[in-house]
Structure 1
Amino acid sequence: MKSPESSIRDVLAANLRRERVRRGLSLSKLSQLSKIGKATLSQLESATGNPTIETVFSLSRALEIPISDLMDARHSDAVTVVRAAETEVLSGEGVDLRALHRIEASGMIVEVFDQQVRADGRQRSLGHAGTEHTVVQSGRLVAEVDGRRVDLGPGDYIAFDGRLPHSYAAPEGPVRSVLLLHYRSGRHEAADQPNSPH
């Protein structure tokens, strides 16, 4: 998704500025929409800030765009190989994410992430654009979606409307999972994604 020399900070800085300017938003207005301080946004746009999962998801929600529109350096080849050692980690209060790939086909965008929920951590989200899918690879994951708790083990799968408040926790030790986010193509359609069947 990005060349080794382009960092998460650099890619986010360029994409955030492009998306903000495209919408005619001032830093103050984006701060109001995303609930992120104006100074923090300024640092992110100058590639001097320290982006977190919470920050990126808040920006995705405020701008109504897929996460990868903020994180993708837009490189493509016939064969895509993403090496774990060469992929930067985006960390949040309880989760470490590595962006692996963005797929665009049949009017849909699918983002693929390697997701690790840290032991005794809890990752909370107020919601974001798209539909969220998680497949547990190892460990026991506790997902809570709009107040409903679901316990998941290896091989289990959950899907839900990403706009709903949700959280992930790993009470018994670290959890490894694959996170997929999918959206309809189009800049302003991402937030209109219908509920996914469970």
Structure 2
Amino acid sequence: MPYHHGDLRRALLDTALEAVGEQGPAALSLRDVARRAGVSHAAPTHHFRDKTALLTALAAEGWALLADSLRDAAADGDFAELGVAYVVFATSHPAHFAVMRAPGLARADDPELEAAMGQAREQLESGVRRFEDGSTRDAATTALAAWSLVHGLAALVLEGAVPLKPDADVAELARAVTSRLHPPT
């Protein structure tokens, strides 16, 4: 995808996502991203001072996209659909998801990343609060339990540990798993 003119930052992000999808986030290099984008090896440094800055931008973008997906799912009012949205996001944005869950590759103290992660976390926790209205259970712990379940399912699907048929519907699989999340009776 050689860059011609327009938004170089976006072109670099898209090219980096492609590279992450092929090689994983740890193998990413600014030089390779520049080569793939058809720009000089110094061009990425106009937007990203180093590989960590590029990965941080990808992680922040991924968390923001996830927060948007969760917000849309929350509008339906069904708690389980938040989990479905998480798994669908992860499996339809595998490069973003890989960067988001790669500890130490992004700057955890980046304000944009912190804000995007906070928005996603808030969507999960607010979904739990609505789901457990009146319950005596700790909403933050319940949100962590639900997040762990759907994150694990997404990782298992992406790693091929959950074999899916070519025509399999990831949302239906996620819905079947998240249907196990019911308030205590």
TM-score range, shorter chain: under 0.3
The structure number with the bigger radius of gyration is 2
Report the TM-score, using the length of structure 2 for normalisation: 0.23
Bigger relative CO (Cα 8 Å, ≥ 6 apart): 2
